[in-house]
Chain A
Amino acid sequence: MSFDVDIEVRRGDRTISCAFKSPRGITVLFGPSGAGKTSVLEALAGIVKPERGHIAVAGRTLFDADQGIDLAPEKRGCGYVFQDSRLFPHRSVRANLLYGWRLQPAERRLIAPELAIGFLGIGHLLDRMPRSLSGGEAQRVAIGRALLSGPQFILMDEPLASLDASRRAEILTLIERIRDELGLPIAYVSHERGEVDRLADTIVPIGLPD
């Protein structure tokens, strides 16, 4: 079981309920803007605390309200790719990529930096500063940074939102390779039908309240 989630998250003045179990591959949280998809992802990452329920990923309990388990974000081992790439502006591309990598013990590291850099095609960007990157370049670096942090699962929040069509196809292919070659559970937030049809092994609809 990749994801075993049953939670209620408060967001402003309403409560989002979300429950799903997904066997493997990519789980797409699908729904209109403002439905609370990002809140669910943030709960998986430990950024927001659910009101009740439990979260387990790949058999590991990250949150359980009844048992009083609530792992800090840095203890959850999630590779979070944000909608805005959130690269650290005061560090070079290389330092951004290696930020999580150097914090991990060797046995937790999934792939070598050279491999990830080649895989993402960002070797020529290493000495640049993030603000000189295009949207597509920044998002590839952000994906690399998440992969190199030795994640046990990947969270992606509309990673294609800021990209043009040709870049989108490129990143979609990358995401499929991550799924197939690294075998990591991936939770993917989207409101685009096309992405859902192409990527989803499991679809979790998240709707607006009636």
Chain B
Amino acid sequence: MILSEVEWQIVALSLKVSAVAIFGALPISFVLAWVLARKHFAGKVLLDALVHLPLVVPPVVTGWLLLIVFGNNGPAGRWLEQTFGLQFMFRWTGAALAAAIMALPLMVRAMRLSIEAVDRKLEIAARTLGAGPWRTFFEITLPLAFPGVLAGMVLGFARSIGEFGATITFVSNIPGETRTLPLAIYAALQMPGNEADATRLAVVSVVLSLLALIVSETLARRSMRERGGHVL
């Protein structure tokens, strides 16, 4: 199947937005997953609910909230622009932010399960063998939780590639800047006679999602075989 230059740009933009979203969300997701898996504190139920909010709130609401908070006149948006010169509204960075927020709950869930599945007795064994808490984390806990971290990232990537509602609300549908695959398909369907364009782009998104799932399955299986580790 032959894509036009514009269509390749759409694919490239989608990949860039999703990759930035996932790698940006990774450290935050892992810390949240760790806290939810290992810590007990007042307000844990609330934190858990907040993390899951993007999963259950209509994406258009999430997009609107992002606009209020991270828009050029929003509190976080204004501060980020003045401090780092970082702009989100109507920019691809905003699309990445929206995708990250939407992917976050899925990433946290997968990582939390894999952290909970790590046998803490193994961590204790490492400590008695002379490893401090950080070494134990990097040599025992993280490798054993790794398949789940990977699964979370791939799941988040698939979610990001498909993100539509929050993105179009927050950063609009600007060709070359914020027009990712789903937004391009939507735009193509707005005008009669563009079904062929929409079909090509739809096939690309299906292939990308399928690839992501196959990659995650393969990696998870391989690491299960090699490590006897845990996948969700």
Contacts and interface: CB of A to CB of B under 8 A. Distances in A.
Contacts of B132: 72, 74
A183 interface: no
Contact of A99 (B121, B124, B129, B227): B129
A45 B129 CA distance: 10
Contacts of B122: 86, 88-89
B121 A90 contact: no
Interface in B133-168: 135, 140, 143-144
B128 A78 contact: yes
Contacts of B229: 89-90
A167 B229 CA distance: 28
Contacts of B192: none
A125 B119 CA distance: 24
Interface in B208-232: 226-229
B49 interface: no
Interface string A65-77: 0000000111011
B228 A89 contact: yes
Nearest to A47: B124
Contact of B125 (A72, A82, A129): A82
Nearest to A45: B128
Nearest to A100: B129
A80 interface: yes
By size class, the interface of chain A is 20 to 34
A139 interface: no
Interface residues of B, number: 19
B228 A131 contact: yes
A90 B228 contact: yes
Given A88-B140, A149-B129, A82 B121 contact: yes
Contacts of A77: 130
A74 B131 contact: yes
A104 interface: yes
B44 interface: no
B127 A74 contact: yes
Nearest to A79: B128
Given A82-B121, A82-B125, A88-B126, A103 B227 contact: no
B144 to A, nearest CB: 6
A129 B121 CA distance: 18
B140 to A, nearest CB: 6
Given A46-B128, A74-B127, A100-B131, 13 more contacts: A45-B128, A46-B127, A74-B129, A74-B130, A74-B131, A89-B122, A89-B228, A90-B226, A90-B227, A99-B126, A129-B226, A146-B129, A149-B129
